[in-house]
């Protein structure tokens, strides 16, 4: 869901921070749950949370969770990324890095609920395990 700069408020900031925290905990849990299963099949399974920036309402800030599967040599086989929040400055519909007169700051928040993301990530992992068989 997209938010204009006028919509940026403390309630939205709390929503973003809660979603980031919950998804960070979720990927840590998935990592603990599936790492050994993938190791037994000679694959490397990794999951993580990434955040760039300190203020969610500043252009350039983004956060996401990712799950990656690699073979034993470290060659990446598959990567799944879920963007949580991304804040960018736009001018005429194009992302820009500088503040130009008439540009707008827009944030985009993950549309899915925590439960939907959990199901999506588990389906992705289960599918990867089945593809290996």
- In 3D, which of 65, 77, 80, 71 has the Cα closest to residue 123? 80
pLDDT in tens, 47-69: 999 999 999 999 999 999 999 99
Asked whether residue 132 carries a pLDDT value surpassing 80, the answer given is no
Asked whether residue 24 carries a pLDDT value surpassing 70, the answer given is yes
Considering the chain, what is the average pLDDT of its residues?
A: 93
Asked whether residue 131 carries a pLDDT value surpassing 90, the answer given is no
Residues of the chain above pLDDT 90, percent: 80
pLDDT in tens, 33-47: 999 999 898 899 999
The per-residue DSSP string of 90-107 comes to EETTEEESS--TT-EEEE
Are 5 and 57 spatial neighbours (Cβ–Cβ below 8 Å)? yes
């Amino acid at each position: 869901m997209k938010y204009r700069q006028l919509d940026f408020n403390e309630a939205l900031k709390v929503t973003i921070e809660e979603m980031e925290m919950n998804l960070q905990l979720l990927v840590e849990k998935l990592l603990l749950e599936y790492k050994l299963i993938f190791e037994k099949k000679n694959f490397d399974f990794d999951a993580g949370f990434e955040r760039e920036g300190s203020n969610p309402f500043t252009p350039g800030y983004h956060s996401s969770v990712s799950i990656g599967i690699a073979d034993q040599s470290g060659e990446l086989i598959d990567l799944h990324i879920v963007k949580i929040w991304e804040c960018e400055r736009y001018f005429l519909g194009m992302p820009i890095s500088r503040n130009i007169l008439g540009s707008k700051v827009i944030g985009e928040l993950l549309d899915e609920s925590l439960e939907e993301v959990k199901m999506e990530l588990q389906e992705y992992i289960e599918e990867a395990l089945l593809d290996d068989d």
